[in-house]
Each structure stands twice: as C-alpha cells, then as structure tokens.
C-alpha cells in the first residue's frame, strides 16, 4: 500500500521574461489501486506538475510538499524517486541515442530494483509485455525513441511501466496522438498494470477519450496551476459536453 501526498505545491520556471509561477497550490492524494484523472486545458500546468513531482531540474519548488509513503520526495534525486516507486511517462518522451530499448529496460530495472533481474525470467517478461502491447520483437534492438512514431513512443512508455512495476505512475497525455487501435492497446496495458500490481495512477489528459477505456476513480479539473474541481467519473462526462470554459472565466 502506497500513498502519494501533494500538499499546497507551488512551482516556478525561468522564462526569458522572468520567473513565472506555474503551480499555484496543488493538493492531491493518490493511493495504491486508485486512478486519478487530471484533466485541464493546454497550458494549465499539467506537465509541470508531472515534472515537478519527478524532479525535473527546470522547475523550482517554491513551497508545499510531496511525500511518498511519508518520505519527502522533493529531497530525493531523480534516481531515488524512481527507486522509491515513482514512474513518469512523459508527454514528449526523449531520445536516448546509442541505447537500445532492450538495454535501456534492463538498466532501468536494475536501477529501480537495486539488483539485476534474473536473465531468463527477464527475457520472458520483456517478450510477454511486448507481445501484449503488440510490439514487434525487433523493436527491442532499436535505439530509445529514435525515429519512433507517436504510437511507438507511448507503447514504449507503457512497456516500461509494466516491467518496472512502480507504486505510483504518472502518465502524461499517454493518449495523445494515438489512433483508436493504439489507444485501446495502450489502455489495456495500463489496466493490466492496475490489476497485476495495484499501481496508483495519475492519468493526465486533455481529452475524455481515454477514460472510455480506463475508468478513473476520481477526476480532478486542473486549471491555472491548481485543482479547480474534483469529482467522480461523471465529472469527465460533463467536461466532455461543456469543455473547460466555465473554469477559464474564473481562473487566473
Ligand atoms: P500543460 O501540460 O497543462 O499543457 P505545461 O505544464 O506544459 O501545461 O505548461 C504550463 C505553462 O508553463 C505554460 O504557459 C508553459 O508555456 C509554461 N512552461 C512550462 N514549462 C516551461 C519552461 N520550461 N519554460 C518556459 N515556460 C514553461
Ligand atoms: Mg499541453
Ligand atoms: Mg502537458
């Protein structure tokens, strides 16, 4: 049982125009087995929230706290956060030149677990997870994200999640740029991880489409760098019909 607790989180970023506050008091708690959809318009700070929790150096936390199982995440290095059980699937996954998917996964698994996975079961696990995500075995020998299509990048992110088995996973717009088939395959991967590992999920999305496949327990409307409203899945339905306009007039 894990718990991620974000309390009154404020974060800034340096822009050419000066320091800009993006996160303006975020409160959010995610427990094992729960799926929280974070829904908000473009530019509301969703990715900033993901990066701030994961420890991206561009974002400075100016106040508030983030704890995982009572431990201060903000004091940890990015590696330590991963070892503590945190996983981030980025909205725009980065290339890792010269490193194959296969090597990358094994290195990440070793780093997260503190020991190398037993080779025979590992090879089988990777193959099984790739099969499930309908990934060609040849994919394992390609360099991470080099020339990957949008769909391949997203599948690779979910592949990592399925193999690393984090306690808490942040999925930043894992649905963006996917066609219907890829969306279903990726969603099935997320649902498998939920069933098999009780992972707690922060599912950041702009659209309600992915919520037809992955049922959230909670929906948080994210506007102007904070949670503007919270509810159950019915809130997503309302957003689908009404959009974010009603929040934008009152935000900022
Ligand atoms: P979302 O993911 O909700 O679309 P982001 O977190 O990407 O929103 O961005 C929130 C705001 O912060 C935007 O106005 C964006 O331009 C600004 N921002 C985010 N990261 C940076 C950065 N590294 N440099 C400058 N501005 C940034
Ligand atoms: Mg965006
Ligand atoms: Mg974003």
Digit-coded pLDDT (tens) for 134-161: 999 999 999 999 999 899 999 999 999 9
**How buried is residue 209: exposed, middle or buried, by Cβ count under 10 Å (0-12/13-18/19+)?**
middle
Can you give the pLDDT at residue 248? 83
| Residues near ligand 3 ion, CB 5 Å cutoff | 46-47, 91
187 Cβ inside 6 Å of ligand 1 = no
- ipTM of the prediction greater than 0.90, yes or no: yes
Can you give the pLDDT at residue 206? 87
Q: Which CATH number fits domain 3-251: 3.50.50.60, 3.40.718.10, 3.40.50.300, 3.30.70.330?
A: 3.40.50.300
Q: Give 12-43 as a DSSP string.
A: EEEETTEEEEEEEEEEEEEETT-EEEEE--TT
Strands (E), the chain: 3-15, 18-31, 35-39, 59-68, 71-72, 86-89, 96-100, 143-144, 168-172, 200-205, 218-223, 226-231
Q: Which DSSP letter does residue 75 get?
A: G
44 Cβ inside 6 Å of ligand 1 = yes
13 Cβ inside 6 Å of ligand 1 = yes
List, for the chain, all residue ranges whose pLDDT scores fall below the cut of 70. Answer: 249-252
pTM for this entry:
0.95
Can you give the pLDDT at residue 235? 95
To test ligand 1's pocket by mutation, which of 9, 47, 221 has the most ligand atoms within 8 angstroms of CB? 47
Digit-coded pLDDT (tens) for 53-76: 999 999 999 999 999 999 999 999
Phi, psi of 198, deg, nearest 5:
65, 25
Distance CA 238, CA 247 (A): 12
To test ligand 1's pocket by mutation, which of 20, 92, 94, 220 has the most ligand atoms within 8 angstroms of CB? 20
Q: How far is CA 154 from CA 71, 91, 203, 219, 240, in A?
A: 30, 9, 13, 22, 23
User: What six digits make up the tokens of 163?
Assistant: 């193999």
User: What six digits make up the tokens of 195?
Assistant: 């069933």
């Amino acid at each position: 049982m894990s718990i991620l607790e974000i309390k009154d989180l404020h974060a800034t970023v340096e822009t050419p125009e000066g320091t800009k506050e993006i996160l303006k008091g975020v409160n959010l708690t995610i427990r094992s087995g729960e799926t929280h959809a974070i829904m908000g318009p473009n530019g509301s700070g969703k990715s900033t929230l993901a990066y701030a929790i994961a420890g991206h150096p561009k974002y400075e936390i100016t106040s508030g706290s983030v704890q995982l199982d009572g431990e201060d995440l903000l004091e940890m290095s990015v590696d330590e956060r991963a070892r503590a059980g945190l996983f981030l699937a980025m909205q725009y996954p980065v290339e890792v030149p010269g490193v194959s998917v296969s090597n990358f996964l094994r290195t990440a698994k070793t780093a997260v677990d503190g020991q190398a996975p037993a080779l025979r079961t590992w090879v089988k696990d990777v193959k099984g997870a790739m099969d499930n995500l309908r990934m060609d075995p040849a994919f394992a020998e390609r360099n991470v994200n080099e020339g990957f299509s949008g769909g391949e990048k997203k599948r690779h992110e979910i592949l990592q999640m399925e193999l690393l088995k984090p306690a808490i996973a942040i999925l930043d717009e894992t649905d963006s740029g996917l066609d219907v088939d890829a969306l279903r395959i990726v969603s099935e991967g997320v649902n498998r991880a939920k069933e098999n590992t009780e992972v707690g999920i922060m599912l950041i999305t702009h659209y309600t489409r992915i919520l037809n496949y992955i049922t959230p327990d909670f929906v948080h409307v994210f506007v102007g760098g904070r949670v503007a409203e919270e509810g159950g899945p019915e809130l997503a339905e309302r957003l689908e019909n009404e959009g974010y306009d009603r929040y934008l007039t009152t935000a900022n």
